[in-house]
Chain A
Amino acid sequence: MTQTKNDADARDRAARQFIAALPHCRALSMQVEAVAEGMAEISMPWAEAIVGDPRTGVVHGGAVSALMDTSGGAAVLSHPTAPLGTATMDLRIDYMRAATPHQKITARAVCHHVTRSIAFVRAEAFDEDRDKGPVAVANGAFTLDRGDKP
């Protein structure tokens, strides 16, 4: 039991350090909201700098991509098989609706399957109006570095 709790704490710490070490995530003020085995939830506050449409203040799709990509990578690294590193191979994002201006966006990514060298990830991003459904959903494949020779 204690062991499980320690594992969870270590994973949580690792995820927070992972995000804090990435300059672009710092630039977008991303924060780890939750981590579990093969799951990561990361948020990004609204900011003037990430606006794509100055008429409305709606965040640019590209910033949502950066959040999706980060949460996907974090979900892979928190997978129980403990990969040493990961890189995005492909990421497809569907934009369902414009994010409400001045609201925080939170992406939840799940690494739902891994092979020896690949991780498959699904992610959803919500603003604070959760009942309106996701702002965007994503599917991606990530490489897995297991530290063994190919």
Chain B
Amino acid sequence: MKRPEPIQVVKQRRDKALAALVDGVPYIQFLGITFDRRGDELTGILHYDDKLIGNPMLPALHGGVTAAFLEVTAIVTLSWSMLWDDLEAGRLEPEGLTHETLPRLPKTIDFSVDYLRSGLPRDGYARARINRSGRRYASVHVEGWQDNRERLFAQATGHFLMPQRDA
């Protein structure tokens, strides 16, 4: 029987591939979004900053920031699931991988955001669920929350065009 890989090797490979997906995108850096990884599950974290405020009177996060945060989480989660199999099967080498050298990524077709309560001036979290992932299209649902996982401040559904792999 094949010996399992040492845990550090596995973690390093996955973390490097995730970093290639996230770190090279200027807009993700600008908003201050990072991702926590537990196995293949990702949680997006929106790190609070004053520039994310839309309504200074309340204050509340800008609705556009909330939409962008959910869209980034959806697209990173979808891209990550697309890379995962190749990464684990050794078909994708994470060493030296950057956003520029990654395979083509899914494109947003439409995105619909449902604002449930105003975004508080503090960190936000989001997790996406891929409800359908076909050869051409994918449908993804995202939930965003702040203090309590059960009290969502926004949710969204989006459709994405998958890159054609053997084109």
Contact = CB atoms under 8 A, between A and B. Distances in A.
Given A21-B56, A70-B64, 18 more contacts: A24-B62, A24-B64, A49-B27, A49-B29, A51-B25, A53-B105, A60-B27, A62-B64, A66-B67, A66-B68, A67-B64, A73-B63, A87-B60, A88-B115, A91-B113, A93-B67, A94-B109, A95-B109
A22 B56 contact: yes
A50 B26 contact: yes
Interface of A: 21-27, 48-55, 59-63, 65-70, 73, 87-95
Contacts of B52: 23-24
Interface residues of B, number: 38
Interface of B: 24-31, 50-56, 60, 62-65, 67-69, 71-72, 99-100, 105, 107-115, 118
B54 A22 contact: yes
A87 B100 contact: no
A23 B56 contact: yes
B165 to A, nearest CB: 17
B53 A22 contact: yes
Given A22-B53, A22-B54, A65-B71, A91 B63 contact: yes
Contacts of B114: 89-90
A66 B113 CA distance: 12
A62 B72 contact: yes
B144 to A, nearest CB: 13
Most chain B CB inside 10 Å of its own CB: which residue of A26, A61, A94:
A61
A2 B16 CA distance: 64
Contacts of A92: 110-113
B67 A65 contact: yes
A14 B83 CA distance: 48
A87 B115 contact: yes
Contacts of B28: 60
A141 to B, nearest CB: 10
12 contacts: A22-B62, A24-B53, A25-B62, A50-B30, A52-B26, A52-B27, A54-B25, A63-B64, A65-B113, A70-B54, A90-B113, A93-B112
B162 to A, nearest CB: 15
B111 A93 contact: yes
Contacts of A95: 107-111
A26 to B, nearest CB: 8
A95 B29 CA distance: 22
Contacts of A50: 26-27, 30
Given A23-B50, A50-B27, A63-B27, A91 B68 contact: no
A106 to B, nearest CB: 15
Contacts of A23: 50-54, 56, 62
Contacts of B108: 61, 95
Nearest to A50: B27
Contacts of B54: 22-25, 69-70
